[in-house]
Amino acid sequence: MSNVVAVPANPALVNGVDDFLHAVAHERSNSAEKFIEMVDHMTDRMLSLFLVEPSQLMALSGTQKKVIDFAVSTAGKASHMLTRQIYKKTSNKEFAPIVRNIEAMYWPAGDDNDNQACLVIDARDDLARDFYEAQKLCEAGNGTAHIELVASVFDRLSDEVIDSFFVSNTHEVKVGFVTQKALNVGIDGSRKAVHAVTNKVLRGLNDEQLKGFLGHYAGIIRPR
C-alpha cells in the first residue's frame, strides 16, 4: 500500500470530469470546451482547498487576507487564460493521452474512500514522511518550533499538485514557443503566489492555529 495525495472533489469538479470523459468517449465536437471547463473547476477546487478554506478557519490580518486574495486571483486568471490558449483546438484523438491521465487520477466515490470522490497522485515517500511528522508536531502543539518543516511540506505539496494536476497534461499536446513562454511565466507566477501564502501567512500562525490548519488537511496525504 502506497501513499497518495488525495484532493476531495466537489460536485462541480466531479461533473466536470464526467462531462469531459463522456465528450471524448462519444467523439463530441465540444470536448475542448469541456476540458477547459473541467480545468477551471479543478483550479477553483485547488485554490479553495489550499488558500480560501484554511483562511476561514482562523483570524487573519488585513495584510494576510490581501496576500491570499492576490494568490487566488493570480493563479486563477493564469490557469484559465493558458488552458484556453493551449487546448482550445485540441481534437478528440489528441486528447487520448490526457484522458488516460485523468482516468488514472480520478478516484470515484465508493466504500474505499468514504464515498468522497477524489483526484489522486502518488505521494513521494519523503513528502509523505514529512507531512505525517508535521501533522504530529502541530497536533501536539509544537508547530511553531518546527515551522520550517511545516512550511516546506506545504510548498512541496502545492508544487506536486501544480505539476501533476496541471502541468503534466501540457506535455501531451503541441505547444508553440510563445505559448510555452507564457505557460512558464504563468506556472512560475502561480507557484510564487501560493508560496507567498506559506511564507507570509503560515509562518505567522500560532501553535493553536497551526493545529487547526494541519487538521484541515488530515486526509490530504493518505494510504491507498
Residue pLDDT, tens place only, 35-55: 999 999 999 998 888 888 877
Cell of 214: 494541519
Predicted local distance difference test score (pLDDT) of residue 183: 86
Pairing of strands 106-107, 221-223: unpaired
Predicted local distance difference test score (pLDDT) of residue 172: 92
Predicted local distance difference test score (pLDDT) of residue 177: 85
Predicted local distance difference test score (pLDDT) of residue 64: 79
Q: With a cut of 50, which residues of the chain have pLDDT below it?
A: none
- Radius of gyration of the chain, Cα coordinates, nearest whole angstrom: 18
Q: Are 121 and 4 in contact (CB under 8 A)?
A: yes
Pairwise CA distance, residues 75 & 126, whole Å: 27
Predicted local distance difference test score (pLDDT) of residue 215: 87
Q: Could you tell me where the beta strands, DSSP code E, fall in the chain? A: 3-8, 106-107, 118-122, 221-223
User: For the chain, what percentages of helix, strand and coil (3-state, to nearest 5) are there?
Assistant: 70, 5, 20
Predicted local distance difference test score (pLDDT) of residue 55: 77
pTM for the structure as a whole = 0.89
Q: Are 153 and 127 in contact (CB under 8 A)?
A: yes
Pairing of strands 106-107, 3-8: unpaired
Predicted local distance difference test score (pLDDT) of residue 45: 92
Q: Are 153 and 130 in contact (CB under 8 A)?
A: yes
Predicted local distance difference test score (pLDDT) of residue 53: 82
Residue 58 DSSP symbol: S
Amino acid at site 167: V
Pairwise CA distance, residues 217 & 157, whole Å: 11
